[in-house]
Structure 1
Amino acid sequence: MLKYMNNLLLPFRSCFSRQASFKWFVVLIVGFMLRSDHLGVTSVIRDLSLNARCYETLTHFFRSSAWLTSLLWQRWLQVVRQHAPLLVIQGRVVLVGDGMKQAKEGRRMPGVKRLHQESENDAKGEYIFGHLFGAIGILVGDSRKWFCLPLFMNLQDGVQTILGWKKSASEVETPSHVVQMIEQGFEAAKIRSSAVAFGSIFLVGSCLGAAEYVPPRFRNPHAPSDQSQIERGRLPTSPCKKAGARYVFCRYREFAV
């Protein structure tokens, strides 16, 4: 097990400009895997029996200039492509996109805003205050069972003001939640290095049917005027869920880059 983890984590060394930062990265990854609760950095310290003085060092890691999120993400895609047993349908891997609304008690937390609750449960309020996350994963496994392995997750609403600090006046405002998920899938398909790119993909998600508008940068200039690189339909096979006798067909969009 330790040898396998070493083979997975060692490629991330090139993403860090300092050796110490990489070692703390390994500590955090192992801590996230072994922790028994979800109380942040304190969970890692407690379950790995680290000295309490490590708390400030661990929190500083997330603000360190020794690494970039974009480089870690590209390396993660490469590790997944090399080691994970990917589900391939008609020469395309299957990405799964979904959003999640997490209620928060704090009203002054960054990214917290008033969100509409789509749940059909009458016991839940129509609106909540919380975070809206968007995530993209890839289906891996074998013929017995498939799992969704996360590739990317971020806050996709309520952070326009924060992101605006880095934007110029000529830049467009932050796109919608659905468009951001399409962009993440597209980036996974067309990432620069051919050793990392997944190529043509199926992007599955119940919310993707709401994206009637296809951004021009996703359109195929060589395709007929009524077609684009993103299309809607049903998967050729059915990795979709079955509840009793009722099948749930997931909408998908196809990327061909």
Structure 2
Amino acid sequence: MDKKLFEILENFRPCFSRKATYYWFTLVMIGLAVRADHYGISSIVRWVSLSPNCYFSLLHFFGSTGWTLEVLLLCWWSYCLQDPLCLKIQGRAVLLGDHTNQPKGGQRMPGVVTIHQHSETSSKPSYFRGHVWGFIALVMGNGQKYFAVPLKGELNLEERNKENSCSLATQLVYNAIQTAQKMGCPAYLVLDAFFAIGPVFLIAVACSVALRVPWVHIITRAKKNAVAYLDPPPDTPGKRGRKRKYGEKVKLMGLFKERANEFLEETCFVYGHTEVVKILCLDLLWKPIKGKIRFVLAITSRGPIVLMSSDLTLPAVQILELYCQRASIESMFLVLKHSIGGL
């Protein structure tokens, strides 16, 4: 593991203008990997067995002009994309996006806001003070096991959240598009039902001039009360009035009973194991974007689920398999919070 860690860190040498700055960066990375407590810079000094005088040198390192965060991120993204474990579907990388809340004790800490906890666990308070983080992660794996690698995390500030109710969702999608642009690689962005809103899909329409395709295609779970519409019927000759834009209204959750005989059995890799699932794929009109969305209705061992995809060419089985990779970002949050202490 030590050898692999140093091989990875060697890729970051061009990001630093001086060798000394790079050596301090290496010490910080090793300290984050081996420390068992989360007391900031002092824990790095203690677990790497540095002299107490190095505390001030480390403070100077984080404010040094010998490196920039943007260059460091670009180097990290490039390394991850070139890794053979990077999962790509139809030439697109697979990104995961989600928010996580981290309670904070300080009332006047920068970025601390009042957060409402949406959880069924009675031990958690309904409201608490803390940070709201939005993360973009890259899916990597060997075909049998997949994991999420963090690419970018951003603290959502209070004044941004007050703009509109969709600001948290749209800001994360903006970050995903910017990440895909800087990486130079289009991507699929897998999200949960919180992001199944019109503005998210409208933002993702942003296209690459060179590639002539959207930088990001959205895959998300539909809400239980989601509805869609069939294509409008053909116009009747001689009938007055404007043309109909939408056809018959369809309640998606009701299709599991109404069209039960139309489901097809497919073998699919679901949540870490292979199983036979029943799938129905429909391209329907969705009012929030005034266009078509691919809806995938699936019955798995965990029950029925309705998925949405902005890519109308992606097979239904792949949409389901990609959405099942979303669970790996929750494991990533646990590692960041409890093992690394990065939040």
The interval holding the TM-score normalised by the smaller chain is 0.7 to 0.9
SS of structure 1 residue aligned to 2:199:
coil
- CA-CA distance at 1:249 after TM superposition: 5.5
Is it true that 1:203 corresponds to 2:259 in the alignment?
no
Q: 2:175 aligns with which of 174, 178, 184?
A: 184
Map 1:152-171 to 2 at 5 A. 152-158=152-158
1:88-111 Cα distance to aligned partner (Å, 9 max, x none): 223322111111111111101111
**Cα distance in 2, alignment partners of residues 228 and 81 from structure 1:** 15
SS of structure 1 residue aligned to 2:110:
coil
**Cα distance in 1, alignment partners of residues 308 and 138 from structure 2:** 13
Map 1:55-134 to 2 at 5 A. 55-134=55-134
Structure (1/2) with the larger strand percentage: 2
Amino acid at match of 1:42: S
Q: Report sequence identity in percent.
A: 32
Amino acid at match of 2:143: S
Aligned residues: 233
Q: 2:199 aligns with which of 197, 203, 213?
A: 213
1:102-129 Cα distance to aligned partner (Å, 9 max, x none): 1111101111111111112233222110
Structure 2: which 5+ residue stretches go unaligned? 222-265, 274-299, 312-343
Output the aligned Cα RMSD: 3.4
SS of structure 2 residue aligned to 1:94:
strand
**Cα distance in 1, alignment partners of residues 129 and 306 from structure 2:** 28
Moved more, 42-51 or 245-254: 245-254
Amino acid at match of 2:198: E
TM-score, structure 2 normalization: 0.59
**Cα distance in 1, alignment partners of residues 113 and 40 from structure 2:** 22
Determine if contact 1:201/1:254 at 8 Å carries over to the other structure.
no
Determine if contact 1:203/1:254 at 8 Å carries over to the other structure.
no
SS of structure 2 residue aligned to 1:123:
coil
Is it true that 1:151 corresponds to 2:151 in the alignment?
yes
Change (3 A) 1:121 1:72: same
SS of structure 1 residue aligned to 2:39:
coil
Amino acid at match of 1:37: D
Query: Which structure has the larger Rg over C-alpha atoms?
Result: 2
Q: Which residue of 2 aligns with 1:36?
A: 36
Q: Which structure is higher in RCO with an 8 Å CA cutoff and minimum separation 6?
A: 1
Moved more, 113-122 or 6-15: 6-15
Structure 1: which 5+ residue stretches go unaligned? 162-171
**Cα distance in 2, alignment partners of residues 135 and 182 from structure 1:** 10
Change (3 A) 1:246 1:239: closer
1:144-193 Cα distance to aligned partner (Å, 9 max, x none): 211111111121233759xxxxxxxxxx99x82222221222122221xx
TM-score, structure 1 normalization: 0.76
Amino acid at match of 1:43: S
Q: Which residue of 2 aligns with 1:168?
A: none
Amino acid at match of 1:178: A
